Amino acid sequence: MPANASLPREPVRAAAPGRPKDMEKASAILEAARRLFTGHGFDGASMDQIAAAAGVSKLTVYSHYGDKDTLFAAVVRSYCEQNLPDSLFESAPEMPIRDRLLQVGRVFFAFVSSPEAVAGHRMLCSPRTADTHLPGKFWQAGPERVQQALAELLSRRAAIGDLDISDSALAARQFVTLVKGELHARLVLGCCDRDEDADAHVAAAVDFFLRAYAPRSGR
């Protein structure tokens, strides 16, 4: 080989996904998107704005999340997982069933009544998004996961005799509907304060649920 010949260069490898720097960028994008979606709505928050708020390029946003709809779903999923973690839905058989359901109900109601959740609910009910596929993405990323996890909790507690439930998925849907109740609707409409009677409201919902699903003697 001639003395002045250069050795072939090894190809430069692209950064593997999942490295700390990539995770930091993904987290920054989610946080920026959450703030902007909450403050400006889905249409009012552009990918350029999200990229600027996250301190990354727009190309980086697209490389992590593909498109704006997918980013929105990721924000919903991340926010739900942070505030309603899997540990919330552990059966905890050592705890009385009423105490366990009160615990779940209080955390769930605090979540759905948070400013971010209320803003998201209003946004999804607006005419501009009601007829799009965005509500479906929201449902799959958030409420569907919560109801499935709750149904598993109810099924496990029914298996040890704490509840009398034949359809845990239906019971889970009824529970979250009861816990949200009129108070959540009034919050969304701006007709009441967030903390108004929240504890009493959740306790009443749990007691109503238990009257329907408490074990029947002699069965």
152-204: pLDDT as tens digits: 999 999 999 999 999 999 999 999 999 999 999 888 888 876 666 899 999 99
Return d(Cα 60, Cα 55) in angstroms, integer: 10
Residue ranges of domains in the chain, CATH in brackets: 20-72 (1.10.10.60), 84-213 (1.10.357.10)
37-61: pLDDT as tens digits: 888 888 889 999 999 999 999 999 9
Q: What is the pLDDT of residue 55?
A: 94
Number of other CB atoms surrounding residue 111 within 10 Å: 18
Confidence label for 19 from pLDDT (cuts 50, 70 and 90): low
In this predicted model, which residue has the larger pLDDT, 139 or 64?
64
Q: What is the 3-state secondary structure (H, E, C) of the chain?
A: CCCCCCCCCCCCCCCCCCCHHHHHHHHHHHHHHHHHHHHHHHHHCCHHHHHHHHCCCHHHHHHHHCCHHHHHHHHHHHHHHHHCCHHHHCCCCCCCHHHHHHHHHHHHHHHHCCHHHHHHHHHHCCHHHHCCCHHHHHHHHCHHHHHHHHHHHHHHHHHCCCCCCCCHHHHHHHHHHHHHHHHHHHHHHCCCCCCCCHHHHHHHHHHHHHHHHCCCCCC
- The yes-or-no verdict on residue 14 having pLDDT over 90 is no
**Percentage of residues in the chain with pLDDT exceeding 90?**
53
- The yes-or-no verdict on residue 218 having pLDDT over 60 is no
Q: What is the pLDDT of residue 22?
A: 85
* Total-model pTM: 0.76
Residue 210 CA neighbour count, 13 Å, CB half: 17
Find the mean pLDDT for residues 144-149.
Answer: 93
Q: What is the pLDDT of residue 7?
A: 41
